[in-house]
Amino acid sequence: MAAIVSEHLLEWYDAHARNLPWRARPGEPAPDPYRVWLSEVMLQQTTVAAVKPYFEAFTTRWPTVEDLAASPEEDVMAAWAGLGYYSRARNLVKAARAVAGQGGFPDTEEALRELPGLGAYTAAAVAAIAFGRRAVVVDANVERVVSRLFAIREPLPGSRKAIRACAEEITPDSRAGDFAQAMMDLGATICTSRDPKCLLCPLQAACRGRAEGDPAQLPVKAPKKAKPLRQGKAWWIERDEAVWLVRREGKGMLGGMRALPDDGWSAGGDGSGEPPLDGEWQGAGVVRHTFTHFALEMSVECQSTREEPQGQGEWWPVDQLDEAGLPTLFAKAARLVLA
DNA sequence: GAGCCGTGGTC
DNA sequence: TGACCAAGGCT
């Protein structure tokens, strides 16, 4: 069964592979490891459509890993703004500097796994796609395809071990990179989460989920927790056509990103409501934003001042706010004020 | 293992 | 329209 699956899938991939900017066409030499790594990190929990313009911008501005390694971290953070999961950008810079210091990318799964931001999935994907190593690449697509192919009915995440064992079984010794990308293309276009296109699937004859009549019900997932709703405030402080921006600290929510000052709202609780300046504030409205694990209603209040707010920050020209690299929540707040 | 960490698209 | 989803990693 294993050989049949990989043969049919690779044959399908040779005919139907998506043409993506970071990808070699079937039969072409493997692409630059830098481009493979960058695309894989950007694609973590992120759609192809969202990644494309960022990949284009990054590879134009930083054509090599050495260019990226030489860039100030804050420039990379600003360029990442809007893509989300900002720890990826922080780790991207760390990894680029490590790679540049080593004189190039390591070419084994084990060594790649040591770079910050490369977990089990990404290390396997880069090893297979960029270096032709046989590696078992398991992402959400593979979990879905394998769950259906083998009719695994144990709910995620408990079924991960069984899924990995089945993925190991069908991963071929050669063309492991094409095989991994084929699994992802199949998951993205045929074996989709909703309404799988079984009639077009190259694996339909081998699929136990299809044979058992309910492939769309797989994989079974544990129910998700409800998201709490939090309240908070952000402050728009303006002086001489410039707005006061701060840099968020550390590794927490939106860590390392430029932002408006706020009242300390978080996933764990509401903000204090305490403003960073005395004086009259004018309400500009409310921004509603949903994060992975909570929803936020953030009211935005404005003040023009001649004073310098407390703490670290910078006056940023309002007409150049697009270049500040604000994460989407604060970009929404700015839009509200400037509308 | 489970919680934390973004965003935009889809139905 | 709200819930779900997308090429996960870190702690």
- Give the separation between CA A109 and CA A215, rounded to whole angstroms: 32
Closest CA to A171 of A215, A140, A125: A125
Nucleotide with smallest C1' distance to residue A45 CA: C6
* Model confidence at A257: pLDDT above 90: yes
CATH topology assigned to domain A229-338 = Nucleoside Triphosphate Pyrophosphohydrolase (3.90.79)
Mean pLDDT (chain A) is 95
Q: How confident is the model at residue A224 (pLDDT cuts 50, 70, 90)?
A: confident
Annotate A47-70 with DSSP letters as a single string: -HHHHHHHHHHHHHH--SHHHHHT
Cα–Cα distances in angstroms (integers) from residue A259 to residues A53, A214, A320, in the given order: 23, 47, 14
**HSE (side-chain half, CA atoms, 13 Å) at A54:** 23
Which is catalytic among the residues A7, A11, A28, A40? A40
Q: Is the CB of A148 under 7 A from strand C?
A: no
Q: How confident is the model at residue A339 (pLDDT cuts 50, 70, 90)?
A: confident
A148 phi and psi, to 5 degrees?
-75, -45
Which pLDDT tens digit goes with each residue over A314-331?
A: 999 999 999 999 999 999
Element spanning A36, H or E: helix A33-42
Residue A146 CB neighbour total at 10 angstroms: 27
Nucleotide with smallest C1' distance to residue A84 CA: B6
- Give the separation between CA A161 and CA A138, rounded to whole angstroms: 11
Q: For this structure, is A238 an active site residue?
A: no
Which pLDDT tens digit goes with each residue over A63-97?
A: 999 999 999 999 999 999 999 999 999 999 999 99
Residues 6+ apart with CB under 8 A from A37: A65, A95, A105, A118, A122, A126, A130
Percentage of chain A modeled with pLDDT above 90: 92
Which pLDDT tens digit goes with each residue over A104-120?
A: 999 999 999 999 999 99
- Give the separation between CA A26 and CA A249, rounded to whole angstroms: 44
Q: Whose CA is nearest the C1' atom of nucleotide B2?
A: A157
Which pLDDT tens digit goes with each residue over A119-138?
A: 999 999 999 999 999 999 99
Residues in A 14-43 whose C-beta is less than 7 A from nucleic strand C are 18, 20, 22-23, 39-40, 43
- How high is the pLDDT of residue A217? 93
Pick the CATH number of A2-217 from 1.20.1250.20, 3.20.20.70, 1.10.340.30, 3.30.230.10: 1.10.340.30
Q: How confident is the model at residue A29 (pLDDT cuts 50, 70, 90)?
A: confident
Q: Which nucleotides of C are covered by protein (CB under 7 A)?
A: 3-11
**Rg of chain A in Å (alpha carbons):** 23
Going A53 to A59 to A61 to A67, the CA torsion angle's sign is: positive
Asked if residues A315 and A240 have their Cβ atoms less than 8 Å apart, the reply is: yes
- How high is the pLDDT of residue A336? 95
Instruction: Give the residue with greater pLDDT, A306 vs A24.
Output: A306
Closest CA to A155 of A221, A216, A223, A224: A221
Q: Whose CA is nearest the C1' atom of nucleotide C8?
A: A44
Cα–Cα distances in angstroms (integers) from residue A159 to residues A87, A192, A221, A338, in the given order: 27, 19, 10, 49
Nucleotide with smallest C1' distance to residue A184 CA: C7
* Model confidence at A28: pLDDT above 80: no
- How high is the pLDDT of residue A251? 83
- Domain residue extents for chain A: 2-217, 229-338
Nucleotide with smallest C1' distance to residue A85 CA: B6
Residues 6+ apart with CB under 8 A from A12: A182, A186, A202
Nucleotide with smallest C1' distance to residue A252 CA: B5
- How high is the pLDDT of residue A223? 86
Count Cβ atoms within 10 A of the Cβ of residue A211 and give its class: 0-12 exposed, 13-18 middle, 19 or more buried.
exposed
Q: Whose CA is nearest the C1' atom of nucleotide B8?
A: A50
Among the residues of A118-271, which ranges form H helices? 120-131, 140-149, 160-170, 176-189, 208-211
Q: Whose CA is nearest the C1' atom of nucleotide C7?
A: A43
Q: How confident is the model at residue A26 (pLDDT cuts 50, 70, 90)?
A: low
- How high is the pLDDT of residue A250? 81
Q: How far is the CA of A295 from the C1' of B6 (A)?
A: 12
Q: Which two tokens stand for residue A73?
A: 């971290």
Question: Tokens 């694996």 identify what position?
Answer: A203
Q: Which nucleotides of B are covered by protein (CB under 7 A)?
A: 1-9, 11
Q: Whose CA is nearest the C1' atom of nucleotide B9?
A: A47
* Model confidence at A209: pLDDT above 70: yes
Q: Which two tokens stand for residue A222?
A: 């544990």
